[in-house]
Chains A and B, each alone.
Chain A
Amino acid sequence: MTETLKLDGPSREALLDRAAQGAIGRGLDRPEGPLKVTGQAGYAADARLDGMVHGVLARARQTGTITDHRLEALKAMPGVVLVLTDGIPRNPAQGAVPTAPPAADGVAYTGQPTALIVAERFEDAWHAALAYDPQITPVAHDLDPETAATVETPEDKQRADDGWQDTWDAAPTKVDVTVTTPSLTSAPMEPHAAIAMWEGDQLTLRGGLQMLKFNRKSLADALDMPVAKIRLLAPYVGGGFGSKLGVAQEAVAAALAAKQLGRPVSVVMHRRQVFEATMRRSESRQRIRLACDDAGIIRATAQEYRVSNLPGEAFSEPVARADRAFYATDKLKITHEIARIHRMAAGSVRAPGEAIGIPAFEMALDELAEAAGIDPLELRLKNTVEADPISGLPFSSYPLADTLKAGAKAFGWQHRPPRQQQEGEWWIGQGLASAIRGHFAAEAEARVSLTAQGAIVETDQTDIGTGSYAILRQITGEMLGLDPADVEVRLGDTAFPPAFGSGGSAGAASSGTAVLLACRALRKRIAASLDAAPDDLTLKDGHVIHGNRRTALAQIVPQEGWCEQGHVAAGDISDKVRTTTCGAMFAQVAVNAVTGEIRVRQMHGTFAAGRILNHKTATSQCHGGLIWGIGMALMEELHHDPRDGAVVNRDFAQFHIPANADVPPLSVDFLDAADDWGGPLGALGLGELSISGAAGAILNAVHNAAGIRIRDMPATPDKVLDALDKLGS
């Protein structure tokens, strides 16, 4: 039996509020933790299969048409068993796409993998891949988004309210700010990897993948075979951050090579290939205009931005949306331009859109506060809204003001003018930004089996570090009155019921609701066996309490156990309310007047994302977002060679991500309250919230410290020194 629920309105699971078992919300350790800390968790590239050979993807060094792969010499190299050139996709599929990744037609970007060399030993394959030197007839392409000949402006992504210009003209206080952000990259610590193995016409592929339901269909389309003949395994994924949403080159190539050879093939991308051939976050140029009245209420908002992608890619970084706003405004103007250029593909990187859109907007707000002579905290509080000012839809919950107030108190926010505090060479200052990220409901299924020994949860949901193993165990423990230690969670296998996967911060709420529904069905089975109503039962510590009787579950559940499925589907909630998560982030920074170095000294975030399912894993995710904000504000930037668009700094020595010593003391807290529109679980997406604005808090603090506005991210020392020079200090 399957317990189904379509999310069409508010709902609530009272058992979670009652928390008889006390499992929900607690900061329990990750159940898979012991495997991870002992090296026993098997990631994609960790399987050792009989007869397995190693494949290495080889890159093309310039764009154009391949006239000759020149494979003869490669095939003769020691150990080489196969060189494959047909069928390797141009770039990975985008997120939640059930179709094949785009086919290659020549070399669309420098570094595109256009061959796979397979050899008995990795060393032989690597050596041969380095020797790959195809003959290419170059084709000149646009490489720079600012000068691209093709710039698309899709109609549904534009907006220009009647009277915008008049409102703007009439406003007494306004700012016109242009912020730029560079190409960025997810750079999960686990490089993309796949091990493919065929048994007859059945393919089993171990992969670093985030969304197995979609990945399976996408791979089936790429290989032109039935979906049912593919089994994907991804029980442990070494980080994703968007880069593993879609099937990428290594998975398709491994499957093709394994079929040809009749042997298992392992293909692991080199770190440099992850940087240059998977997905980048598009660079952006964002012009933001804000105008407020004498009371500090925003009257006109304009966000005009340009992003880029390869021709044919449907994805474009949704920096701002034409159909919504998150602060007060009377008139909205949105211009969304997509330049078609031949840099590597652009796709989803943690919180696509908001991750770069909110920091820029929050920086413009800081400038508006200064222009209006208002405390930036006060300006935000004046402009928080109960309903979306554009669509008129009420928010399901949007306690932005509460997070701002609570966060300001926890951080010790004190508004003061710039350049007031110095310690030797260092200017000290503080800044804030709101965190804002949309939440959406997604379809998911899960199966829960209950036996005398405990429960087993099965779904193809992934845990990419997000805590799925922990929270699904807690939800089951709470619903069935079991010690979470007696719940086993099995994930990342398409043999299990399909979930949404890890994307768009939608994994926990969707798979968690499916598990909750399966548990409801199990409670009905328990109740029926006692001739009771499910609501009259209390399940706790492996016992059923009914009236004044307490019976061990083991005495009720039959030997073979009970198994139930849960299925949640997204209904029409988005037509009725806007679901959004929010928060407030604060930073204290020090800016060195001599060297231009910026050090973040402290950060705090207060976040609201519905019910918090596990305070420990939730806190870690929020730490992660804040630290990504440090990277975005101060150091992260993919440099494209202006001559060929290639990613110049394609490794960790040259693309700097925050290291341990870059990270100051962080504090995080939550306004933990179920959102009834988030489904019976009451949880909203959390994984991407804290990056959505964090860089803005830091750069606003830089202004407060040293009086300089760095609008061209990242704020590297050269830019700081230039700005200080211009200030005349």
Chain B
Amino acid sequence: MRLILTVNGADHAVDLDPRTTLLDALRHDLDLTGTKKGCDHGQCGACTVLVNGQRINACLALAVMHDGDEITTVEGLGEVDHLSPLQSAFLTHDGFQCGFCTPGQLVSATAMLTELHDGWASHVTENLTETLTAQPTSRAEIAERMSGNLCRCACYPGIVAAIEEVVVRSRADREAAE
């Protein structure tokens, strides 16, 4: 099937077997191998990408379902000499060891920051009457929201600390701007 995949702002015209997952299309057809296949079953989160700003498991989506959607992969978050704040924080806090789940963690965390900013509640949100943006973001809140991304090296303490730093800093930046 012919379709246009829009990835990290660039359009790619591809002709794909309809069985091709979005993950395999990225890796095999567009040579964007930053997105990883950890389980191919939607259980580990290593393949997390953004589709129109929301995080999904690319292994559970067929490429043909995303003709024309805006897709962002880890390659679209930042570059080696121009890291995103989350990417820098993962380095500082050692939020990875082997690094294989890291692209998924980072894409997932990027979307999570938006979800927090948009006031989405989670399973551990204690106060549903106040808007989330008015509450400090607890480590439990971050851990809960990042539990769809498994890490066998178990860098969870570093991952949470990295995200917390970015949450606190971006909130301070926002308040300073207001």
Using CB atoms and an 8 Å cutoff, list the residues of chain A in contact with chain B. 29-30, 32-43, 45-46, 48, 54, 121-124, 127, 186-191, 236-241, 268, 270-271, 464-467, 616-617, 619-621, 623-624, 626-628, 651-653, 657-663, 665-666
Q: How far is the CA of A390 from the CA of B37 in the complex (A)?
A: 48
Given contacts A37-B96, A39-B73, A121-B17, contact A189 B38 (CB under 8 A): yes
Given contacts A123-B24, A624-B154, A663-B154, contact A37 B39 (CB under 8 A): no
15 A-B interface contacts by CB (under 8 A): A30-B94, A33-B99, A37-B99, A37-B106, A43-B36, A54-B28, A187-B152, A239-B152, A241-B152, A620-B155, A623-B156, A624-B97, A651-B41, A660-B160, A661-B140
Task: Choose among B34, B97, B142 the residue with the greatest number of A CB atoms under 10 Å from its CB.
Answer: B97
Q: How far is the CA of A212 from the CA of B53 in the complex (A)?
A: 41
Q: How far is the CA of A38 from the CA of B143 in the complex (A)?
A: 22
Q: How far is the CA of A665 from the CA of B156 in the complex (A)?
A: 10
- B152 & A40 in contact (Cβ 8 Å cutoff): no
Task: Find B143's partner among A39, A122, A240, A663 (CB 8 Å cutoff).
Answer: A663
Find residues 10-67 in chain B having any chain A CB closer than 8 Å to their own CB.
17, 19-20, 24, 27-28, 31-41, 43-44, 46
Beta-carbon nearest neighbor of A193 in chain B: B37
CB distance from A660 to the nearest CB of B (A): 4
Given contacts A29-B91, A237-B98, A652-B41, contact A623 B157 (CB under 8 A): yes
Task: Find B33's partner among A34, A48, A665 (CB 8 Å cutoff).
Answer: A48
- B98 & A464 in contact (Cβ 8 Å cutoff): yes
Find residues 62-103 in chain B having any chain A CB closer than 8 Å to their own CB.
73-75, 77-81, 83, 87, 90-92, 94, 96-103
Task: Find B37's partner among A54, A268, A623, A652 (CB 8 Å cutoff).
Answer: A268
- B24 & A122 in contact (Cβ 8 Å cutoff): yes
Beta-carbon nearest neighbor of B160 in chain A: A660
What would 9 more interface pairs be, CB under 8 Å, given A33-B96, A48-B31, A241-B152?
A39-B32, A39-B33, A39-B34, A121-B20, A191-B39, A238-B100, A651-B39, A651-B43, A666-B157
- B157 & A663 in contact (Cβ 8 Å cutoff): yes
CB distance from B147 to the nearest CB of A (A): 4
Judged by a CB distance under 8 angstroms, whether B151 is at the interface is yes
- A38 & B83 in contact (Cβ 8 Å cutoff): yes
Number of B interface residues in the complex (CB < 8 A) = 64
Which DSSP category, helix, strand, loop or mixed, fits chain A's interface?
loop
Give chain A residues whose Cβ lies under 8 Å from the Cβ of B99.
Answer: 32-33, 35-37, 41, 236, 238, 465
Using CB atoms and an 8 Å cutoff, list the residues of chain B in contact with chain A. 17, 19-20, 24, 27-28, 31-41, 43-44, 46, 73-75, 77-81, 83, 87, 90-92, 94, 96-103, 106, 124, 139-140, 142-144, 146-160
- A189 & B100 in contact (Cβ 8 Å cutoff): yes
Give chain B residues whose Cβ lies under 8 Å from the Cβ of A270.
Answer: 40
Give chain B residues whose Cβ lies under 8 Å from the Cβ of A34.
Answer: 80-81, 83, 87, 91
- B147 & A38 in contact (Cβ 8 Å cutoff): no
- A657 & B152 in contact (Cβ 8 Å cutoff): yes
CB distance from A81 to the nearest CB of B (A): 15
Task: Find B154's partner among A33, A36, A127, A627 (CB 8 Å cutoff).
Answer: A627
- B156 & A37 in contact (Cβ 8 Å cutoff): no
